[in-house]
Amino acid sequence: MLVSREEVISRLYKIGSSAAAIGAIHILALLLSWYIQVIDGSEIPIEGWIIPEARILSIAGGLIAGASIVIIHFIKRLKPMKLVLGALIIIGGVLSILSPVYSYVFKLPGLVSYPRLDIGFFAAAFTGVIQLGIGALAFLTPVREEAIPAPAPAVAPQTPLTPAPEAQAPSRGTTARLAPIEDLEEGICSLCFEPITQGDGVRCTNCDAVFHRGCIETWVSVNGTCPNCKAIITGS
């Protein structure tokens, strides 16, 4: 099911907010005990922040995932926004998972003997896995494609009937033209709801609705009227 551009943006921002929250929790997990060393019957907790590599990987992973929601704010098109958001969250999740695993496999054996895993290790690994899941969710978010109206099926020509003026007259006029927009700073096509770039926009002279040139030309070739005010398009 296709959804509007605003709904897609809202979903992506919710996903980015969730990733930022999980990234912050992952960084806070550095303060927990990741490993426990038993010496002469005494248990000595080892926090994650003590290990430099774990500290760097965890902070980088959490910040990258959290920064994704800020970065997509500067991206206008939906597909690049979704791809950048998903990629950053995935990268943050990978770094977050590497932090406890790398420390346990490569760094911890040189510091202590026979360490036992503690709650901080599992919290760091679990939040990293959640980040990967959130990144996958961003990639799976459906994005509305630009839709061009499909041609109507061919019908046998019939003798046109004179319509009643009240039924056929548009709300603000009977005829209109498509005029190019010279100085368009920002606009959304009334047919496909995607941004209009400079030089690619036209407007209806009757209702001032703006369209991509390709979208409205396809529409007019089938229907012959403005999709917004129903005025008959006589020329461009």
Q: Return the bridge partners of 45, or none.
A: 36
Stated as kind and residue range, the H or E segment containing 22 is helix 5-28
Residue 93, pLDDT > 90, answer yes
Q: Quote the DSSP letter at residue 225.
A: B
Residue appearing with tokens 């995607």:
194
CA distance 200 to 187: 11
Residue 148, pLDDT > 50, answer no
Which parts of 72-196 fold into alpha helices (H)?
A: 78-102, 119-140, 165-168
What whole-number percentage of the chain has pLDDT above 90?
28
Task: Give the CATH number, domain containing residue 189.
Answer: 3.30.40.10
* Cβ atoms of 124 and 63 closer than 8 Å: no
The CA-based dihedral angle spanning residues 76, 82, 88, 90, taken in that order and rounded to the nearest 10 degrees: 180
Looking at the structure, do residues 130 and 195 belong to the same domain, yes or no?
Answer: no
The answer to whether residue 107 sits within a structural domain is yes
Residue 188, pLDDT > 90, answer no
Tokens of 46: 């080892």
The answer to whether residue 152 sits within a structural domain is no
Residue 162, pLDDT > 80, answer no
Is pTM, for the whole model, over 0.75?
A: no
Residue appearing with tokens 């990733």:
19
Looking at the structure, do residues 136 and 173 belong to the same domain, yes or no?
Answer: no
Domain encompassing residue 182: 168-235
Residue 213, pLDDT > 50, answer yes
Tokens of 58: 């965890």
How much is the pLDDT for 235? 67
Looking at the structure, do residues 29 and 133 belong to the same domain, yes or no?
Answer: yes
Higher pLDDT, 60 or 36: 60
The answer to whether residue 145 sits within a structural domain is no
- Banded model confidence at residue 98, pLDDT cuts 50, 70, 90: very high
